[in-house]
Chains A and B, each alone.
Chain A
Amino acid sequence: MSRIDTAATGLTRRSLLATGAAVLATPMLSRRAFAQATELTMLAWYGHAEPDIVAEFEAENNVKFVPKYYTGGDNMLGLISQSPPGTFDVILSDAEYVQALNEAGYVEELDPNDYALADYFPEFQNFPGNWADGKLFSMVTRFGFLGVAYNTDALTEAEAANYNVFWDPRLTGKVGHFDWHLPNLGQMSLLNGNANPYDIDEAAWQAVKDKTMSLRPQIGGFFDYGGTFSSLNDGQMLAFCGIGDWITGVLEKSGAKVRSVIPEQGGLQWSECFSIGKDSAKADLAKKWIQYITSAKGQAKSAQMAAYPALVPNQKGWEVLNAENPDEAKRQGMTKEAGNVIDMIRAGRIKYRQWPVQQSLEDWNDFWSEYKGS
């Protein structure tokens, strides 16, 4: 029987062995073909190691990024502290956490001469948090503003351009909070007229708490990243506290009727900075990546990141963006026209988001829990 079967299928022992050997060897061949691609680990917010940002750099340098995404600076610090040194080659961090990274010795010192700092707007050349004792530890790569996010069907831009709009009776149960104390309480502090929203004395802190508590009946929910997106997108929430274009920009591009505006009391600024992880075995490649993403070309890409758009600090990056995608440059306010985002910073309308100076982070967090539970 077996003889007949062999003849019918044309399968001989020799051909079987040959096929088997070829099948077994295939992974080896393909492994050889990709053998040169170096893996570079990146610890970052979601989106930073996606193809729209890294594909070109990966192809040019035969690198493959291995991202580890986090949500929030605390999560990031936790991941680093639980991993052995050298786990992450490139680390993206919000500016207020860079100092903690530096103090804990998680990042390498950078040489300012390696980077196109001269192309940066002057405000970002000596960016606080990037430097400690005259030494550079990280490079700010993108930033954005936090103001009032609103549904354009429900509110006009003029109405939304004031934090008091959150108390509007039309918005009862329709105001959402991005569930993190720092941006929300910072905005309440701005509304209370504090010039340095995070550096406030006990009386001013009490006033911020009282003001925030008075907003509680208006609140329809406390949302994480995904919840913020969906509740703005489906019109469940008509105004949002604690966010900005990094969320509404994505929705706006996909046709949702939402926008962000910097109110007359001012806005907050978040900033993302790249560092090289301590004891990285691929520090040279990591340096090359930071050079790329802070270059004019990289900056234009970063501004249009699919995950969430942002402003960029490199002036030449603005030029590339205006040439490539003038509509997006205009939408985000990165044009040479008066009133652009740098003018807003220069006019003093924007304050850095930072950790509370006179209270502990714990005090702010505890109050936030109480506010939510009330």
Chain B
Amino acid sequence: MRRPITLYGLTFSLPLLVWQILFFVFPLLFLVALSFWTVKNFTMRPDFDTVNWTTMYGRAVFWQAYGTTFALATAASVLTSTLAFPCAYAIAFKLSDSARRWAVFLMVIPFFTSYLVRVYSWQIFLSDNGIINVILGWIGLGPFPLLNTVGATMIGYLTLSFPLVVLLQLFSLVFIERTLIEAAHNLRCGRLRTVFAVVIPSARVGLVIAALFCFILSFGDFVSPVYLGGGEPTTLSILITDTTKSGQQWPRAAVIALTMIGTLMLVAFAAVKFAYKGKTR
């Protein structure tokens, strides 16, 4: 049942609303307006011209970057979710209460250090003369090209989102009704089957939201594709910097940014719809 809006309720929600309007809606509207501006001799002029949209959407490199970025972010979500699940599962069901608190603490620690610093330190591991190749060299293998590859970009995405995905998955797993699992066991359901038939469906909302966060973070990430992927393949974030780097083409960069925002909104909408499918409040 919907309650009428009260002044008391507004005092708490109003600051958030004002904040959102000031720092999200207003800049977004400005971005939309900016995408119709024109640039002459390095100077942006307020205008209403669709030239930026037609130019960007008419370029093969844009769609190439779009496809690449979408595929990379999707792969990162699947990979991160798959790797994170056993970890979150073990923390939720196998650890004691105090061990679980430690595990959560350990998952928070990576956020103490800047993501950029963490990504740079991966270079020390992955370069041709890096730690991994040196160790492989001891047993007569390699050196393998690890840095400046798609695999390295993926490691960067994992660095960015793995701890967060584990935490989000964990919070949905710990709230699963334990009696459901016991019931499954009583009905002679095996361990693995219990995971797929009971645990995952029960924690679906959290698992999907975790994967969605991974997608959002990876889709817009600039650091990993540049510093671990060596700038190739070109992702949309790289294309934005390229576009602004020559001739002050911020309006065209706005077109790319708006396309990214639109895509993320569609993906988020679809994911949330899927997560809550068949659920009633």
Q: Which A residues are closer than 8 A to B by beta carbons?
A: 72, 74-75, 77-78, 81, 100, 103-104, 173, 176, 179-181, 219-224, 226-227, 230-231, 234-236, 361-362, 364-366, 368-370, 372-373
Q: B85 CB to closest chain A CB, in angstroms?
A: 33
> In the assembly, what is the distance between CA of A370 and CA of B239, in Å?
10
B239 partner residues in chain A, CB cutoff 8 A: 369
Using A74-B42, A365-B247 as known contacts, say yes or no to A224 and B127 having CB atoms under 8 A apart.
Answer: no
B82 partner residues in chain A, CB cutoff 8 A: none
A362 partner residues in chain B, CB cutoff 8 A: 246-247, 249
A220 partner residues in chain B, CB cutoff 8 A: 148, 230
Partner of A365, one of B120, B129, B238, B242: B242
Using A223-B231, A230-B120 as known contacts, say yes or no to A235 and B127 having CB atoms under 8 A apart.
Answer: yes
Chain A interface, DSSP helix/strand/loop, else mixed: helix
Using A100-B42, A234-B123, A372-B242 as known contacts, say yes or no to A221 and B230 having CB atoms under 8 A apart.
Answer: yes
Please state if B64 and A236 are interface contacts (CB–CB under 8 Å). no
| 0 or 1 for each of B119-135: is its CB under 8 Å from A? (1 = yes) | 01001100111100000
Please state if A224 and B246 are interface contacts (CB–CB under 8 Å). no
What are 25 residue pairs bridging A and B, where the CB atoms are less than 8 Å apart in the complex? A72-B245, A74-B42, A75-B245, A77-B42, A181-B246, A221-B229, A221-B231, A221-B232, A223-B226, A234-B129, A235-B127, A361-B246, A361-B247, A362-B246, A362-B249, A365-B246, A369-B59, A369-B239, A369-B242, A372-B61, A372-B231, A372-B232, A373-B64, A373-B65, A373-B234
Q: B230 CB to closest chain A CB, in angstroms?
A: 3
> In the assembly, what is the distance between CA of A265 and CA of B64, in Å?
35
Please state if B61 and A173 are interface contacts (CB–CB under 8 Å). no
| 0 or 1 for each of B30-51: is its CB under 8 Å from A? (1 = yes) | 0000000000011110000000
Q: In the complex, which residue of chain A has the Cβ closest to the Cβ of B120?
A: A230
> In the assembly, what is the distance between CA of A115 and CA of B229, in Å?
47
> In the assembly, what is the distance between CA of A137 and CA of B25, in Å?
43
A77 partner residues in chain B, CB cutoff 8 A: 42, 248
Please state if B42 and A235 are interface contacts (CB–CB under 8 Å). no
Q: B193 CB to closest chain A CB, in angstroms?
A: 46
Please state if A81 and B120 are interface contacts (CB–CB under 8 Å). no
B110 partner residues in chain A, CB cutoff 8 A: none
A176 partner residues in chain B, CB cutoff 8 A: 230
Q: B145 on the interface (CB 8 Å rule)?
A: yes
A230 partner residues in chain B, CB cutoff 8 A: 120, 123
A370 partner residues in chain B, CB cutoff 8 A: 60-61
Please state if B246 and A364 are interface contacts (CB–CB under 8 Å). yes
Q: B280 CB to closest chain A CB, in angstroms?
A: 47
Please state if B128 and A103 are interface contacts (CB–CB under 8 Å). no
Scan residues 151-196 of chain B and give those whose CB is less than 8 A from a CB of chain A.
Answer: none
A181 partner residues in chain B, CB cutoff 8 A: 246
> In the assembly, what is the distance between CA of A373 and CA of B42, in Å?
25
Please state if A104 and B43 are interface contacts (CB–CB under 8 Å). yes
Please state if B147 and A236 are interface contacts (CB–CB under 8 Å). yes
| 0 or 1 for each of B232-257: is its CB under 8 Å from A? (1 = yes) | 11100011001111111110000000
Please state if A78 and B248 are interface contacts (CB–CB under 8 Å). yes
Please state if B227 and A373 are interface contacts (CB–CB under 8 Å). no
> In the assembly, what is the distance between CA of A362 and CA of B52, in Å?
13
> In the assembly, what is the distance between CA of A166 and CA of B239, in Å?
25
Please state if A222 and B245 are interface contacts (CB–CB under 8 Å). no
Q: In the complex, which residue of chain B has the Cβ closest to the Cβ of A77?
A: B42
Q: In the complex, which residue of chain B has the Cβ closest to the Cβ of A235?
A: B129
Closest 5 pairs between A and B when the two form their complex, measured CB to CB:
A221-B230, A222-B231, A365-B246, A373-B61, A221-B148
Using A81-B42, A227-B227, A236-B147 as known contacts, say yes or no to A74 and B232 having CB atoms under 8 A apart.
Answer: no
B128 partner residues in chain A, CB cutoff 8 A: 234-236
| 0 or 1 for each of B212-234: is its CB under 8 Å from A? (1 = yes) | 00000000000000110111111
Please state if A223 and B230 are interface contacts (CB–CB under 8 Å). yes
Q: A224 CB to closest chain B CB, in angstroms?
A: 7
Most chain A CB inside 10 Å of its own CB: which residue of B128, B130, B250: B128
Please state if B42 and A368 are interface contacts (CB–CB under 8 Å). no
> In the assembly, what is the distance between CA of A181 and CA of B42, in Å?
17
Q: A153 CB to closest chain B CB, in angstroms?
A: 11
A104 partner residues in chain B, CB cutoff 8 A: 41-43
B244 partner residues in chain A, CB cutoff 8 A: 74, 78
> In the assembly, what is the distance between CA of A104 and CA of B40, in Å?
11
B64 partner residues in chain A, CB cutoff 8 A: 373
Partner of A180, one of B59, B245, B248: B245
Partner of A224, one of B145, B147, B226, B249: B226
